[in-house]
């Protein structure tokens, strides 16, 4: 499997649906590390944290591009307006997630995040004509039950702006899933590079307006773990795995993030999760494992031709 992933990463192979499913679920595992980083921040503001998170993500991609330059160079020929749009949406998703966590409860954010598969299914059906299979529909229902168990006793609206940021997350995840599903030819590194750059630059502007981007080495290191490590590894995995996974299924597999995040902060810094959190997480994780098991072990062609291309009048042909 590792050999197939390596070949697909450099454009020399095609992943099976099962391989793509494992990659997307694995990316959610990496994203979950952000929970520890955010919980351990001492003094950095949201936008200071996001500045270093985005900057370290972009830097990690630059290093990867340089490493691949002599042997398997990153091909920028697949960079289209659709990819630019998807990358911008990804940057907004990352920003909304951090801003929501600091302005409303994690339970509320999790509850709204569970709507992402529904939005992805609807958008995927409208734009890509991808029908939601019975398997995916059942998994969505099981996941909804798990989320309801997890957050049923812990919903807290918090501030209105926090609720707005949390509500944007499932919509942007759904849009990104569909756009990337339709852009199968782009190198997985490219959207991550663009999203990290946009996130870092946009957050730095806001941080400077608020007083500056200087933070302690401790907080900068945590932001870099969240960016350069979690996003730097997780996003290329997700961008590669999406090619063989339907749009509706991708946000479901990413629920590994919201299942594991409470466990990491339980290990450190010691925030003990409720029994409902553990039981609901087990239900969600069961749905994800079931999706992996029933996935087909054959290549699946990404519907790159189903989504109308965004006009690019200045592009050379």
Specify the long-range contacts of residues 308-312, CB closer than 8 Å, at least 24 apart. Answer: 309/80, 309/81, 309/82, 310/80, 310/81, 310/82, 310/85, 311/81, 312/80, 312/81
Three-class secondary structure of residue 210 per DSSP: helix
Nearest to 115, CA basis, from 287, 257, 251? 251
299 — phi, psi (to 5°)? Answer: -60, 145
Higher-pLDDT residue of 140, 200: 200
Say what the pLDDT of residue 220 is.
Answer: 97
Q: How many Å apart are CA 114 and CA 309, to the nearest integer?
A: 29
- In-domain check, residue 59: yes
Instruction: Using pLDDT thresholds of 50, 70 and 90, give the confidence band for residue 155.
Output: low
Segment 154-178 mean pLDDT:
77
pLDDT band at 12 (very low <50, low <70, confident <90, very high): confident
- Asked if residue 281 belongs to a domain, the reply is yes
Residue 135 in domain: yes
Q: How far is 64 from 296, CA to CA, in rounded Å?
A: 31
CA dist., res. 304 & res. 38, Å (int): 36
pLDDT of residue 24: 93
Whether 203 is covered by a domain: the verdict is yes
Confidence of residue 158 (pLDDT cuts 50, 70, 90): low
In a domain, 9, yes or no: no
- Residue 172 is assigned to a structural domain of this protein: yes
- Per-residue pLDDT band for 86 (boundaries 50, 70, 90) equals very high
Most confident of the ranges 8-22, 228-242, 302-316:
228-242
Residue 311 lies in a domain: no
- Structural domain that includes position 56: 18-294
Does the pLDDT value for residue 312 go beyond 60?
no
The full 3-state SS of 146-175, as one line of letters, equals HHHHHHCCCCCCCCHHHHHHHHHHHHHHHH
Q: How do residues 87-139 score in pLDDT, each as one tens digit?
A: 999 999 999 988 887 777 666 666 667 677 777 777 777 777 777 888 888 98
Q: Are 234 and 31 in contact (CB under 8 A)?
A: yes
The pLDDT tens digits of the residues spanning 227-241 come to 999 999 999 999 999
Buried b (16+ CB within 10 A) or exposed e, 133-161: eeebeebbebbbebbebbbeeeeeebeee
| Residue 303 lies inside a defined structural domain of this protein | no
Q: What's the domain count of the chain?
A: 1
């Amino acid at each position: 499997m590792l050999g197939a992933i390596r070949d697909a990463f450099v454009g020399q192979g095609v992943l099976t649906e099962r391989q793509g499913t494992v990659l997307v679920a694995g990316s959610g595992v990496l994203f979950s590390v952000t929970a520890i980083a955010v919980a351990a921040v001492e003094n950095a503001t949201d936008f200071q944290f996001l500045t270093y998170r985005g900057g370290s993500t972009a830097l990690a991609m630059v290093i990867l591009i340089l490493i691949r330059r002599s042997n398997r160079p990153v091909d920028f020929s697949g960079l289209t307006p659709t990819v630019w749009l998807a990358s911008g949406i990804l940057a907004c998703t990352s920003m909304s997630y951090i801003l929501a966590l600091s302005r409303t409860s994690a339970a509320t954010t999790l509850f709204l995040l569970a709507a992402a598969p529904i939005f992805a299914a609807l958008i995927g059906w409208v734009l890509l004509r991808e029908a939601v299979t019975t398997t995916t529909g059942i998994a969505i229902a099981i996941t909804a039950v798990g989320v309801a168990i997890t957050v049923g006793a812990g919903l807290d609206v918090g501030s209105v702006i926090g609720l707005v940021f949390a509500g944007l997350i499932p919509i942007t995840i759904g849009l990104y899933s569909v756009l990337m599903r339709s852009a199968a030819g782009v190198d997985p590194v490219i959207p991550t590079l663009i999203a990290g750059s946009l996130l870092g630059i946009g957050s730095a502007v806001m941080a400077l307006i608020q007083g500056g981007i200087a933070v302690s080495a401790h907080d900068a290191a945590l932001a870099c773990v969240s960016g350069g490590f979690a996003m730097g590894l997780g996003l290329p995995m997700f961008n590669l795995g999406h090619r063989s996974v339907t749009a509706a299924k991708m946000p479901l597999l990413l629920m590994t993030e919201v299942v594991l995040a409470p466990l990491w902060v339980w290990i450190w810094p010691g925030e003990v999760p409720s029994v409902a959190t553990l039981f609901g997480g087990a239900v969600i994780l069961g749905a994800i494992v079931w999706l992996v098991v029933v996935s087909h072990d054959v290549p699946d062609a990404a519907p790159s031709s189903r989504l109308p291309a965004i006009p690019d009048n200045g592009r050379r042909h």
